Amino acid sequence: MALTDELGALREETLAAIARAGDSAALEQVRIGVLGKSGTLTGYLRSMGSVPKEERAAVGKTANEVRVAVEGALEARKAELASAELAAKIDASAVDVTLPGRAQQMGTRHLISGIIDEISEIFLGIGYTVATGPEVETDYYNFEALNAPADHPSRGLADTFYVRDLSGDVAAVKGESDVLLRTQTSGVQVHAMEQQKPPIYVIAPGKVYRRDVADPSHLPQFTQIEGLVVDKGITFGDLKGTLDYFCKQLFGPERKTRVRAHYFPFTEPSAEVDVSCGICNGEGCRFCKGTGWLEILGCGMVDPNVFGYVDIDPDEYSGFAFGMGVERAACLKYNVPDLRMLLEGDMRFLRQF
Ligand code: DAH
């Protein structure tokens, strides 16, 4: 076959291959096969020197024409494929603006956080400030400086989570570890009296931990709010007046309070405060177990022994303290029968508050 015919055939073959190339990568393979370093057409152009003189002009011209035609076809196909590929890409990532939107769920403040703020606001309004202390606490702050005797049952393994020293492999048991998860916020009283001079008017909200199995009235982790007042001439009357004011602010002005004698190691005398049941108005019902009253907090006059641990002179100063369970207060305010409902995360329940 004459060289010009060979070139003609190559041209047809190449143009067909270009038309067949389905994507840019396939097209590039065709280009390399024809015009690349060892491409077929490149071979013809390189071997022009060995073409007999009389044919050279014609063959050269044809080869050139083939090159121009192939290059043109490559360009055209390349543009075609690029726009098809772009269109496919756009199609694949298309957003259907006619679809209805998905509504975002709006969260609400959790009831526990809400009540912490509500209680804090009541006390901030009468001049208290907020104090804090660590949740991982030492035996000293949680028990000892609060006048709890060494054999006090709450210090036992059955009631308190002791923290293991991770540097050793001995499981911490009482006696080997004096670090624990605080069982009450009362330890913040000791921190506050170490850090501030009287007059002291503080509340301390925070989490506490006990070895309890969750049931309607117990949780292994819950929140307490502690209160402490130390000043000159503070009496049990101040304690009663303050807590009665607090209960009426939190539960409503129609609620009554009563004070019952009780025992706590760090207060003397100690008491528990009850608020009249909001469901039966004190008549007696299932919620208040027929008594008409609901226990809301523990309190008392700061024991002089506690002042001894923080170098406050009990002849110069006196004070009162109180502590309440926040989850319990929330349940009493909203008549929720089971503490666990606060932690289940059921939006139908939580949205009501
Ligand atoms: N810490 C006590 C408890 O967890 C509650 C309490 C009682 C706190 C009397 C006080 C108080 O500050 O004076 O049961």
- Per DSSP, the chain holds a count of helices (H) and strands (E) of 11, 9
Between CA 39 and CA 31 the distance in angstroms is 8
State the Cα–Cα distance between residues 18 and 2, nearest whole angstrom.
Answer: 24
**Does the beta carbon of 323 lie inside 6 Å of ligand 1?**
yes
Beta strands in 112-245 (DSSP E): 129-130, 136-138, 179-181, 200-209, 221-231
Backbone angles phi, psi at 175, to 5 degrees: 105, -35
Q: Give every CB contact of residue 113 below 8 A, 6+ residues apart in sequence.
A: none
The 8 Å CB, 24+ separation contacts for 164-172 are: none
CA of 99 to the centre of ligand 1 (A): 58
CATH superfamily name and code, 111-350: Bira Bifunctional Protein; Domain 2 (3.30.930.10)
Residue 308 has a pLDDT of 97
> Is the CB of residue 272 below 6 angstroms from any atom belonging to ligand 1?
no
Question: Is 225's C-beta closer than 6 angstroms to any atom of ligand 1?
Answer: no
128 in contact with ligand 1, CB cutoff 6 A: no
SS3 79: helix
CA gyration radius for the chain? 42
Pairing of strands 257-264, 221-231: unpaired
Atom of ligand 1 lying closest to residue 298 CA: 7
Beta strands in 127-235 (DSSP E): 129-130, 136-138, 179-181, 200-209, 221-231
Q: Find the farthest-apart pair of alpha carbons in the chain and give their distance in angstroms, rounded.
A: 131
Nearest CA to ligand 1 atom 2: 323
Pocket test for ligand 1, best of 240, 262, 266, 307 (most atoms within 8 A of CB): 266
The full length of the chain comes to: 353
AA letter at 267 = T
pLDDT of the residue at 13: 93
Q: How many angstroms does the Cα of residue 252 sit away from the middle of ligand 1?
A: 23
Helix or strand run (H / E) with residue 281: none
Q: For residues 189 and 203, what is the distance between their CA atoms, to the nearest angstrom?
A: 9
Q: Residue 226: CB within 6 Å of ligand 1?
A: yes
Alpha-carbon span 173 to 158, nearest angstrom: 11
319 within ligand 1 shell (Cβ under 6 A): no
Residue 333 Cα to ligand 1 middle (Å): 20
Decide whether any atom of ligand 1 lies within 6 Å of the 142 Cβ.
no
How far, in Å, from the CA of 23 to the mean position of ligand 1? 78
* HSE, side-chain direction, 13 A CA sphere, residue 279: 17
CA 137/CA 179 separation, integer angstroms: 6
Q: Give me the residues of the chain with pLDDT under 50, please.
A: 169-174
Is 222 close to ligand 1, i.e. is its CB under 6 Å away? no
pLDDT tens digits, 227-262:
999 999 999 999 999 999 999 999 999 999 999 999
Per residue in 89-135, pLDDT (tens digit) is: 888 888 888 889 888 888 888 999 999 999 999 999 999 999 999 99
Cα of 187 vs centre of ligand 1, distance in Å, is: 10
Return the pLDDT at 105. 81
- 3-state secondary structure (DSSP) of residue 204: strand
Mutate which of 180, 181, 202, 299 for ligand 1 pocket (most atoms within 8 A of beta carbon): 299
Question: Closest by alpha carbon to 160, among 149, 147, 173?
Answer: 173
166 and 185 Cβ atoms separated by less than 8 Å: no
Question: What's the pLDDT at 301?
Answer: 98
- Residue-range domain boundaries for the chain: 3-92, 111-350
pLDDT (0 to 100) of residue 170: 45
